[in-house]
Structure 1
Amino acid sequence: MCIKIITDSACDLPKDIIEKLDIELMPILVYVDEQEYKDTVNINPKFLYENMKKGSSTKTAQLSIPDLKEVFSKYAKAKQSCIYIAFSSGLSGTYQTSLLVKQEILEKYPDFDLDIIDTKCASLGFGLVVYKAAQLAKEGKSKQEILEVLDFYCNHMEHIFTVDDLEYLFRGGRVSRASAVIGSMLNIKPILNVEDGKLVPLEKVRGKKKLLKRMVEIIGERGVDLDKQLIGICHADDEPNAIKIKELLKEKYNCNSFLINLMGCTIGAHSGPGTMSIYFLNEKSPY
């Protein structure tokens, strides 16, 4: 029996990959003007971004205990060996909650074989980790083999991203009101990264043209064997610039393998429309 890969909707993987690799996807709760939705179930990114542009308030909540119990219990009863690959613990409480739920499930099903992984990754960076694990599971690799690869990917996944409007990061408590106002007035765009699972600012650039160019330069400075790996590009309703970055990466680093997707509601609710992100490994993969 293949190892079952379980994850949550912050991974931003395309639906066809989720279905093809039989990944169990748990929806994170998203709120638009206090109305509750389940990400990927009854809300889509287009709806979210249209409402954010109109001024709607948005927020998210971690996976609920009942939802985690339901999924874990289903596989415990089936005696299915599982790996739950979780959204970064530095950005969500889902990982910690899943550990508590696991202990409760083990009281009833002591033989349940479940490993829980804190990716310390987000969005499609998180998604690339899940994608690799699911591919290996589909190939029939052992749990130990999959866990070794997961450890490498979680520790070497780079996240280079920017937001179009600092107001959304202010609402989420990521920047100060002064930074958001001044940034908007001066057309200053931040370049950020995720380090040890948390949001970290790298640089500030003035103007979109310079911003994209500098992001591509940073990818070259941090990436290794870019022409031999799958590059993830995720955008919040800005496909033209996602394609532009793809072409720049092809031209500058001979990259030829890309996974481009629309940023989902879990991440988009905090970063806002116009967010652009690129994901890649900073060390040569032995796998």
Structure 2
Amino acid sequence: MSVKILADSACDLPLELFESLNIDLLPLVVQIDDQQFYDLETIQPKELYDEMRNGKAPKTAQVPPARFEEAFLKYAEKNETCIYIAFSSELSGTYQTSTLVKDDVLEKYPNFDLTIIDTKAASLGYGLIVKKAAELAQEGKSKDEILSEIEFYCTHMEHLFTVDSLEYLYRGGRVSKTSAFVGGLLNIKPILNVENGKLAPLEKIKGRKKVLKRIVEIMKERGDGLNNQLVAISHGDDLETAEAMRDLIKEEFGTEEFLIHTVGCSIGAHSGPGTIAIFFLNKLN
């Protein structure tokens, strides 16, 4: 019996990949004013970014427990083997909620074979992990084989990103009001990464072009075999810059395979329009 892969919307994979790879989507919640939406179900990233450009300050919430319960019960009743690959527990309560719901479901279905993985990853860094797992599941790999590959990807996934405006990170409590104001005034762009599942600042660069060039330099310092791996680029409704970044990476490393997609609502609500993020492995198998 094949292994069923579940993932939440913070992995930022295109909807067509959820469908073609048979991944069960669990949506995080987005709230704009008094309206509540389900990420990728009742709101799409372009709508969110348009609202943010119009001054709205969306908030997000974890996958509702009821959605976990519905999904887990469906597969428990069928006695299916499942892996839920989760958004970093350091950035959302989604992972913790899923473990609590799993415990409840196991009381009714004690033989339900469900493993929950905290990726400590986000956006397409998380998405590359999910994609690999789903491809292995479609190939008929065993649960243990898939889990081994997931562990490797989680351990060696690099995240590098920059934002166009510090305002949105300020709203989310990631930077101070003073930093956001001064950064905007001086056109300072941060480079951030993810360390142990948490956002961590790396450098501050003046100017958009310089920050993109510096990200490529850091990729060179950290990456392994970048010409032979799939590099992911996610963007805050800025495909033109994402494609320019792709061209820089291709020129520097000879990379041929790219996955480019929009930063989804659950992360984009905090990073804002114009975000550019790069994901790659620092070690190959």
The alignment's TM-score, normalised by the length of structure 2, stands at: 0.99
SS state at 2:255 partner: coil
3-state SS of 2:273 partner: coil
Give the RMSD, CA atoms, in angstroms: 0.6
Deviations 1:183-235 (A, max 9, x none): 00000000000010000000000001111110111111110000010000000
1:98-145 Cα distance to aligned partner (Å, 9 max, x none): 111111100000000000000000000000000000000000000000
Read off the aligned partner of 1:168 and give its amino acid letter.
Y
The answer for unaligned runs of 5 or more in structure 1 is none
Please name the residue that 1:117 is paired with.
117
Letter in 1 for 2:83: I
Share of identical aligned residues, percent? 59
**Unaligned residue ranges in structure 2 (runs of 5+):** none
Provide the C-alpha distance between the structure 2 equivalents of 1:50 and 1:56, rounded to a whole number of angstroms.
9
Aligned pairs (5 A) from 1:257-276: 257-276=257-276
Q: How far did residue 17 of structure 1 move?
A: 1.0
Which 4+ runs in 1 deviate beyond 2 A?
A: none
Structural mapping, 1:44-83, within 5 Å: 44-83=44-83
Residues 17-166 of structure 1: pairs in structure 2 closer than 5 A: 17-166=17-166
- For residues 50-99 of structure 1, the C-alpha deviation after alignment (integer angstroms, 9 at most, x for no partner) is 11011101110001111111100000001000000000001001101111
Q: Aligned partners of 2:51, 2:19: CA distance in 1, in Å? A: 28
Deviates more, 1:31-40 or 1:1-10: 31-40
Displacement of 1:34: 3.0
CA shift, 1:32, in A, is 1.3
Q: Deviations over 1:23-58 (max 9, x none)?
A: 000111001123100001110111100110111011
CA distance in 2, matches of 1:167, 1:23: 34
The answer to whether 1:221 aligns with 2:221 is: yes
The one-letter code matched in structure 2 to 1:131 is K
Task: State the one-letter code of the partner of 1:97.
Answer: T
SS at match of 1:85: strand
Is it true that 1:12 corresponds to 2:12 in the alignment?
yes
- Report deviation, 1:262: 1.1
SS in 1 for 2:234: strand
Partner of 2:205: 205
List per-residue Cα deviations over 1:121-171 (Å, max 9, x = no partner): 000000000000000000000000000000000011000000001000000
2:187 corresponds to: 187
SS at match of 1:159: strand
Q: Is the partner of 1:88 in helix, strand or coil?
A: coil
Q: Report the Cα distance in structure 2 between the residues aligned to 1:109 and 1:35, rounded to whole angstroms.
A: 36
Report the equivalent of 2:170.
170
Give the 3-state SS of the residue equivalent to 1:267 in structure 2. helix
Amino acid at match of 1:101: V
Secondary structure of the corresponding residue to residue 85 of structure 2 = strand
Output the amino acid matched with 1:267: I
The Cα offsets for residues 231-260 of structure 1, whole Å up to 9 and x where unpaired, read as: 000001111110111011111111111000
- The amino acid of 2:107's aligned partner reads E
After TM superposition, the score normalised by the length of structure 1 is 0.98
